[in-house]
Structure 1
Amino acid sequence: MAKKRKKITIAVLAVVSTLFLGACSTAPPKDPENICNIFEERRDWWRASKAMRDEWGVPVHVPMAMMYQESSFRSRALPPRKYVLGFIPWGRVSDAYGYAQAKTMTWDDYIRETGNRRGRRDDFADAIDFMGWFISKSQQINGVSKWDAYAQYLNYHEGWGGYQRRTYLQKQWLVATSRRVDQRSLNYAGQLRGCEERLNRGWLRRLLFG
């Protein structure tokens, strides 16, 4: 009996340690192709994503697919550099930054409208909330469904005015990228349907019952 209690105690400590380290980690998830594995590894991301869904009515798989495309889930991602004469580094192509690759002006709009003045672009919870806000605004302004990852990504990349002017029609690479985002969103949605119940279990219940 004592041995059994000792094993349970060790297992509990291991889970707590894993959860603590996961919450502190800023490294990209090990398996970004599988949203279940992402959220199993980063339980704090799942909680933040559910909070975003509750706040903005945006399905989790859409901004997650967009974030994968934008930063590969790197907290301090930056856009490519510009070069003078083809080899001299000269700044960045834009001031986008963080998980969501949010541009400064758009991020400032988000802060002003939501009051999230302590928000940071390199914090996942703030970044996913920003994307939920943007997707919701795209629906309001351009009538794009929150479940339509293809059109949402075009809005995200070109801006609401650019989408209205259909600037993406001159960028076939962007259209192709948006289709990849849409396919990944569908993949994520299917995966999430199979694991959401487990993700919603508390850590102790998962430890005891799997």
Structure 2
Amino acid sequence: MKKVQLAFKTTLVVVISSTLLAGCATPPPKNTSNLCDIFLEHRDWYNAASDMRDKWGVPIHVPMSMMYQESSFKHNAQPPMRWFLGFIPYGRASSAYGYSQAKTVTWDEYVKEANRFWASRDNFDDAIDFMGWYISKSQRINGVSKWDAYAQYLNYHEGWGGYKRGTYRNKAWLVQVAKKVDSRAKDYASQLKTCEEDLQRGWLWRMFFS
């Protein structure tokens, strides 16, 4: 009974905190099907994604497609709450949280390896950097190209060990999701080519020449 009460109190604190922070949170992009629209609405996101690309050698369209699949670009996304007897909350299916839906253990590993002890999962800049780190590490561990959104998503979902063991082969639904991620990544890549030159221009140029 004490465990149930503790879980309820913890959930209540999270709900209240989320409500208080909602007013200052960055809203999801209005049009998530077009990468240009996403970055034109949130230009600071492009800057963060560009920094990630320079740092990890990961093409922008791959983690952005994966992020859309994981959280729909919601800063506080997390798995649904599980309920006991239909009305008593007792925790979530996993510790995944934030834009990247990074699990606590994996996030802690990233924080240590990347030396980003101030990083937060509900901060876009940190989340996209985490995904760049993960994708880069998937290449090192499992030999998966950083440009292969299909295989990279399977690594991301199943973990490096799970991908190596081929656990995704028994999950037809996951294979289909990975194909969607790959298709979206290709669309995002094509779209970015049409607007990246404008995104790279500073605010002063846009003020006088746009």
Using the size of structure 2 for normalisation, the TM-score is 0.86
Distance 2:85 2:167 in 1: 28
Size of the aligned set, in residue pairs, is: 187
- RMSD over aligned Cα, in angstroms? 1.3
Map of 2:5 onto structure 1: none
What are the residue-to-residue correspondences of 1:42-191 with 2, within 5 Å?
42-84=42-84, 88-191=88-191
Aligned AA (1:40): L
* Cα offset, 1:27, TM superposition: 0.7
Map of 2:40 onto structure 1: 40
* Cα offset, 1:208, TM superposition: 2.2
* Cα offset, 1:26, TM superposition: 1.1
What are the residue-to-residue correspondences of 1:184-203 with 2, within 5 Å?
184-203=184-203
Distance 1:43 1:134 in 2: 23
* Cα offset, 1:91, TM superposition: 1.2
What are the residue-to-residue correspondences of 1:5-16 with 2, within 5 Å?
none
Distance 1:185 1:125 in 2: 19
What are the residue-to-residue correspondences of 1:20-31 with 2, within 5 Å?
25-31=25-31
Map of 2:21 onto structure 1: none
Q: Which moved more, 1:114-123 or 1:195-204?
A: 195-204
In structure 2, do the counterparts of structure 1 residues 87 and 181 end up closer, same or farther at CA, with 3 Å as the change threshold?
farther
Distance 1:25 1:61 in 2: 23
Q: Does structure 1 conserve the Cα–Cα contact (< 8 Å) formed by 2:61 and 2:185?
A: yes
2:26 partner SS = coil
* Cα offset, 1:69, TM superposition: 0.3
Using the size of structure 1 for normalisation, the TM-score is 0.86
Q: Deviations over 1:65-84 (max 9, x none)?
A: 00000000000111122344
Distance 1:90 1:70 in 2: 23
Distance 1:87 1:149 in 2: 39
State percent identity of aligned pairs. 64
Distance 1:144 1:83 in 2: 38
- Between structure 1 and structure 2, the one with the greater Rg is 1
* Cα offset, 1:202, TM superposition: 1.1
Runs of 5+ in structure 2 lacking a partner? 1-23
Aligned AA (1:193): K
Q: Does structure 1 conserve the Cα–Cα contact (< 8 Å) formed by 2:134 and 2:156?
A: yes
